[in-house]
Chain A
Amino acid sequence: MTKSTGPEHQLDDRRSGPVDSNRSRPARPRAPGFGLLMNIVRDVPMLPIIVVVSIVLSFTIDGFLSVGNLQNIMRQLSVILIAVTGQTLVLLIGGIDLSMGATIGLASVCGAFMMHSTDSSLLGLLACLATGSAIGALNGFGVARGGLQPFIMTFSMMLTVRAVAFLLTGGFSVGKLPKALLQTGRMNIAGLPLVFVLGLAVALFVGLVLSRTVFGEKIYLTGSNPRAAAFSGIDVQRLKFQVYLIAGAAAGAAAFVFMMRLGAATPTAGDQLLLQIIGSVVLGGTSLTGGEGGIVRSCSGAVLVAIIIKSLEILGAQFWDQMIVIGVLVALGSALGAWLSRLRTRESKRDDAVELLDHLPDASSVRD
Chain B
Amino acid sequence: MLTQNRQKISLAALAASLMAVAAAMPARADTLPGAGLSVCLSLDKMQAFREGELKLWRKAAADLGVKLVEQVAGEDAQRQSSQIDTCIAQKVNGIVAIPWDNQAVLQDIERAHAAGIPFVTVDQVPADTSTVDTHIGGDPTSDGLHAGRRLVALVGDKPTTVVDLQGALSAVNGVERDKGFKEAIKDHPNIKIVSEVPTEWHPEPVLGGMENALQAHSDLGAVYAATDGFLPPIWSALRKANRYAQVGAPNHVIILSIDGDPQGCAAVKDGWMDAGYATPIGEMTRNSLQVIIDIVKDHKKIVDKDRVQLLAGLEYTKANFSTTSDNVWGCAK
Chain A contact residues, CB within 8 Å of chain B:
63, 66, 68-69, 72, 75-76, 79, 166, 169-176, 182, 186, 258, 261-269, 271-273, 309-310, 313-314, 316, 318-320, 323
Contacts and interface: CB of A to CB of B under 8 A. Distances in A.
B51 interface: no
B104 A66 contact: no
Contacts of A267: 170
A262 B89 contact: no
B103 A319 contact: no
Contact of B72 (A258, A262, A271, A319): A319
A125 B90 CA distance: 34
A274 B156 CA distance: 51
Which secondary structure characterizes the binding site on chain B?
mixed
Contact of A264 (B75, B79, B107, B168): B107
Nearest to A269: B77
Contacts of B73: 319
B102 interface: yes
B214 to A, nearest CB: 27
B69 A262 contact: no
Nearest to B73: A319
A174, A313, A316 — most chain B CB neighbours (10 Å): A313
Contacts, number: 105
Nearest to A174: B103
Given A63-B89, A75-B82, A319-B79, A173 B71 contact: no
A318 B72 contact: yes
A173 B89 contact: no
Given A173-B170, A271-B75, 5 more contacts: A69-B86, A171-B170, A172-B170, A262-B77, A318-B46
Interface centre among A261, A264, A268 (most CB of B within 10 A): A264
Q: Which 9 A-B pairs have the closest CB atoms?
A: A171-B170, A175-B103, A264-B103, A263-B107, A272-B76, A68-B89, A262-B104, A319-B74, A173-B103
A171 B169 contact: yes
A173 B86 contact: no
B104 A266 contact: yes
B170 A72 contact: no
Nearest to B45: A319
B285 interface: no
Contacts of B74: 272, 319-320, 323
B126 to A, nearest CB: 10
A273 B107 contact: no
B106 interface: yes
B106 A264 contact: yes
A173 B102 CA distance: 7
16 contacts: A68-B89, A72-B86, A79-B78, A170-B169, A170-B170, A171-B169, A173-B104, A261-B81, A261-B107, A262-B81, A272-B78, A310-B82, A318-B71, A319-B73, A320-B72, A320-B74
Contacts of B101: 173, 262, 264, 266
B69 A76 contact: no
B121 interface: no
Given A79-B78, A170-B169, A313-B71, A263 B86 contact: no
Interface string B65-103: 000011111111111011101101110000000000111
A168 B28 CA distance: 55
Interface residues of B, number: 31
A272 B75 contact: yes
Contacts of A258: 78
A263 B69 contact: no
Nearest to A264: B103
B11 interface: no
Nearest to B102: A173
Contacts of B81: 261-262
Given A171-B170, A262-B78, A262-B101, A314 B107 contact: no
A68 B87 CA distance: 11
Nearest to A76: B82
A110 to B, nearest CB: 16
Contacts of A171: 168-170
Contacts of B103: 173-176, 262-266
A263 B85 contact: no
Interface in B137-170: 168-170
B77 A266 contact: yes
Interface string B8-33: 00000000000000000000000000
Contacts of B266: none
B48 interface: no
Nearest to B128: A175
B127 interface: yes
Nearest to B87: A313
A63 B90 contact: yes
Contact of B69 (A265, A271, A316): A316
B278 to A, nearest CB: 27
A338 to B, nearest CB: 29
Contacts of B72: 318-320
Contact of B89 (A69, A79, A266): A69
A182 B107 contact: yes
In this complex, which of A169, A258, A261 has the most chain B Cβ atoms within 10 angstroms of its Cβ?
A: A261
A183 B72 CA distance: 27
A176 to B, nearest CB: 8
A264 B89 contact: no
Contacts of B46: 318, 320
Contacts of A63: 89-90
A172 B173 CA distance: 12
Contacts of B107: 182, 261-264
B213 to A, nearest CB: 22
Nearest to B107: A263
A171 B76 CA distance: 14
Given A171-B169, A173-B104, A264 B82 contact: no
A313 B82 contact: yes
Contacts of B90: 63, 314
Given A266-B104, A313-B83, A313-B86, A76 B169 contact: no
